[in-house]
Amino acid sequence: MNSRWKLSVLLSVIAVSLLAGAGSASAWAPAESATIHPGVMTFTGGSSFLNGAGQCTANFVYTDASGNVYLGQAAHCSSTGSNTETNGCSTKSLPIGTPIYAGDLVNGGIQNGTLIGTLAYNSWIAMQQAHETNAATCAYNDLALIKIAAGQVANVNPTVPFWGGPNGLAAGAAPLGERVFTYGNSILRGGVSVLSPKTGASLGEGEESAGWSSQVYTVSPGIPGDSGSAYMNGTGDALGVLSTVELAPVPASNGVGTLAKEVAYANTATGLGIKVAPGTTAFSATPIPPAP
């Protein structure tokens, strides 16, 4: 075997190895036909809220250093505490490995979700394991990751419906006055899709959040079931995750966790090298028309 042929074989082996490690995210499903994407309803622990599963809305798609694919939701979506228990350093959650389903409403009717993967990371669980004591972190770090099953990866697209993007990851919380864009799909909207995309403005950081959260106001506001949904800033970067419906400073405003800090915490806790996957269609503040 000559040296040139040996080199060719070696390069081929390396290429196959790299594709095997990262191939799960090497080719996304077309945005118009993908069934797993930002904005789908997620059901934690069951296929529908009718069987006791908590319903939330997915935010962004993520990949790790090994090429695995994840879908984000809020950590509190797997909470086993009451609605008033919001401290992530003390409230209990369903365990890592809990099955998670996803689906959309069809013609306003309830559709059971399809099993897409399992709970792989929950910031509340991670903070409790780390014995986190920082009050702002405990109150506002609200991110969970669903590891997509191998058989479902081909159905994933990272594009945010209606707006496109994300283009990247925002550096921090949204400053006062910055325009924000989101897509929420609460079951309470009964499948009325015109109510899902929303835009509005940031009211700035709350002093007590220490950069972990922004207050935002959109028309219409996020409602229960939108929890976990994606927010982008004016340049289409992934800004945050819907965490709370607020009564102050503006009634019906929302608390949006700072994704850059949440992802950094996840990577410190897991070492996975989680990154936000960019959309296959670039973000546009002008709504993107549907495919013909």
Q: What is the pLDDT of residues 78-128, one digit of tens each?
A: 999 887 888 999 999 999 999 999 987 655 555 678 999 999 999 999 999
pLDDT digits (tens, 9 = 90+) for 27-76: 899 999 999 999 998 999 887 766 666 789 999 999 999 999 999 999 99
Residue 89 included in any domain: yes
Residue 4 confidence (pLDDT) above 50? no
In this prediction, residue 191 carries a pLDDT of 55
pTM exceeding the 0.75 threshold for the entire prediction: yes
Q: Determine the 3-state secondary structure of 179 from DSSP.
A: strand
Distance, CA of 108 to CA of 133 (rounded, Å)? 44
Residue 117 included in any domain: yes
The CATH code of the domain that includes 145 is: 2.40.10.120
Residue 29 included in any domain: no
Distances (CA, A) of 24 to 49, 62, 155, 190: 29, 11, 11, 33
Q: In percent, how much of the chain has pLDDT > 90? A: 61
216-220 average pLDDT score: 82
In this prediction, residue 26 carries a pLDDT of 55
pLDDT digits (tens, 9 = 90+) for 236-259: 999 999 987 654 555 668 899 999
Residue 73 included in any domain: yes
Number of domains the chain contains: 1
Residue 64 included in any domain: yes
Residue 282 included in any domain: no
Strands 237-246 and 168-169: parallel
Residues linked to residue 63 through DSSP beta bridges, in sequence order: 69, 275
Average pLDDT across the chain, whole number: 84
Residue 1 included in any domain: no
Distances (CA, A) of 237 to 54, 169, 191: 28, 5, 27
In this prediction, residue 15 carries a pLDDT of 35
In this prediction, residue 286 carries a pLDDT of 78
Residue 279 confidence (pLDDT) above 90? yes
Least confident of 160-169, 177-186, 187-196: 187-196
Confidence of residue 13 (pLDDT cuts 50, 70, 90): very low
In this prediction, residue 3 carries a pLDDT of 38
Residue 6 included in any domain: no
In this prediction, residue 103 carries a pLDDT of 83
Domain residue limits at 113: 34-276
